[in-house]
Amino acid sequence: MEIQREIIGRLRLWKESENRKPILLRGARQIGKTWSMRAFGKECFEYVAEFNFDKVEELGRIFEKTRDISRLLKELTLFTDVPIVPGKTLLIFDEIQLCEAALNSLKYFCEDAPQYHVIAAGSLLGVAIRKKKMSVPVGKVQIIRMYPITFKEFLLAADERIHHYINDLNSLDPLPEIILNKLEIEYKRYLICGGMPEAVTTLLENKGIQLVEDILQNILDLYTLDFSKYASPIDIPRINSLWASLPSQLAKENRKFIYKVVKTGARAREYEDALLWLEEAGLIYRIYNISKPGLPLSAYQDLTSFKVYACDCGLLRRLAKLSPEIILSGNAGYTEFKGALTENAILQSLVPQNDVMPYYWSSENRAEVDFVLQLPTEVIPVEVKSETRISGKSLSVYANKFSPPLKIRFSMNNLKENGRLLSCPIPLTDWIYKIVAAKKQS
C-alpha cells in the first residue's frame, strides 16, 4: 500500500516554478523523505538519478574536486544508468550531510545551472550541520520541512469516501453521526500507529498490532542508536533522559517542561544542548509561553517557559508503553495521559499546515490555553479536550481578558458554531484553517 503524501503536490509546484532553487528536504528519520523524492521523480520526470553519499564513498570526492557544475555532471553520469537531461531528469542527493562539498554545490546549481531539478535530503541533517559546523548556502536553496504522515493522509488511505466528504465541507453544519463515528474509529487507529509510514501501512494492511508495535519500537531503538552515534559524549545521557521523560512531562496537569522531571537537580544550562539536538533531529517540538496575544506572537514569547512534544503520537504512545488496547477500549485509567496524547496529536496536525509552531498562554497558574495560533491578522486561542466533556475555565479567562475574534475548542463533540466559539471534532484538526475560512465567509 502506498500512502499519498501531500508533499508531492508541493514538489509539483516547485517543478514548474520559474524561480526554482534546489530543495533541501528536512525532517526526522523514517518519515519517508527518500520514498517521497523517488515517488515524485517517478511521477513527474522521465528519469531519476539518485546519488546516495552513504552507499557510495567515491561520490564525495567528486564534489570535493570541483565546483564546476558541467564537470561535476560529467562525472556523476558514471554513477547512474540514466541520462542527466535538464527538465527531464530529477537529481536526488541523499544523505547529503555526509559531504559538505555536495551541500555547498547546491549554491552553484542555483547560480550556474538552474535548469536542473535538484532535491537533497539527509538523516539528522540539522544535527550534522551543527556538529560539523557546516555552512548551508542560505538564499540559494529552498528548505522544505517534511513531517510524519498526517491524519488527513492516513484517512485518505483508510477510508477514501470519508476523506472526500470532509475535504468537500463548505459549511459549519454538524456532521452526520455515521461520519463522526467513523472518524472517531479511524482517529483511534491513527493514535496507535502514528505517522511513521511503515507503521501506517502495516496497520492499514491488517498485518497485526504486534507488528505495528515492533516497527515503532525498532524506530525508537534506531533513534537511541543515533543519540550514541551523532551526539557529543557529554550530551548522550542527557538526550536519552530528555527523550525518555517526554511521557511524564506531558502527563502532568501543567505540561510546562520541568527539568527536575528529567533528573533531580537538573539545570537548564546543562540540558539546553540536548534539547536543541532533539529539535534539530526533528524528534521534538518546543512551543513557548506568551505573556500576551499581541502581533507578532514571537515578540511576546518567554524563552524560559515552554512545553515539549514528540514529533509523532505513535512514537509517544510506544515510548510511554501504552498498549493499543487501552486506546481502543477507552480504559478509565487512561484519562490523564489521553489528554496528553491528544494534545500531541493536535500539535502534530497544526504544524504541517503552515510550517509554524503555535504558542501557548498561561496566567499565574489560574488558567492555561493549550495553543495560540497566529493567522495573518488575528490571534486565535485553542483549547483541547480529549473527550466530549468540555468543562474548564481557561478559555473563558483568556476571552474575558483579551476578547479574541474567534475561539476554537477541539473535542469529540460535533462541529458547531456558537458566536465566536467554534467547536471542532478532533479528527478535523487537519482541516481547521479551511474551517476557519468557512466561518469567516458565513
3-state secondary structure at position 81: coil
Q: Are the beta carbons of 370 and 360 closer than 8 angstroms?
A: yes
pLDDT (tens, 9 = 90+) of the chain, 442 residues, equals 889 999 999 999 999 999 999 999 999 999 999 999 999 999 999 999 999 999 998 999 999 999 999 999 999 999 999 999 999 999 999 999 999 999 999 999 999 999 999 999 988 888 988 777 788 888 999 999 999 999 999 999 999 999 999 999 988 999 999 999 999 999 999 999 999 999 999 999 999 999 999 999 999 999 999 999 999 999 999 999 999 999 999 988 788 999 989 988 888 999 999 999 999 999 999 999 999 999 999 999 999 999 999 999 999 999 999 999 999 987 767 877 999 999 999 999 999 998 899 999 998 777 999 999 998 889 999 999 998 888 778 999 999 999 999 999 999 999 999 989 999 999 999 999 999 988 777 6
Please give the pLDDT value at position 129.
82
| Residue 144, φ and ψ in degrees, nearest 5 | -120, 125
CA 250 to chain centre: 18
Give the span between the Cα atoms of 8 and 169, in whole angstroms: 23
3-state secondary structure at position 64: helix
Please give the pLDDT value at position 123.
84
Q: Are the beta carbons of 426 and 185 closer than 8 angstroms?
A: no
Predicted TM-score of the model (pTM): 0.94
Count of CB atoms situated within 10 Å of the CB of 211: 14
Please give the pLDDT value at position 332.
67
Question: Which residues face 309 on adjacent strands?
Answer: 285
H or E segment and range at residue 371 = strand 367-374
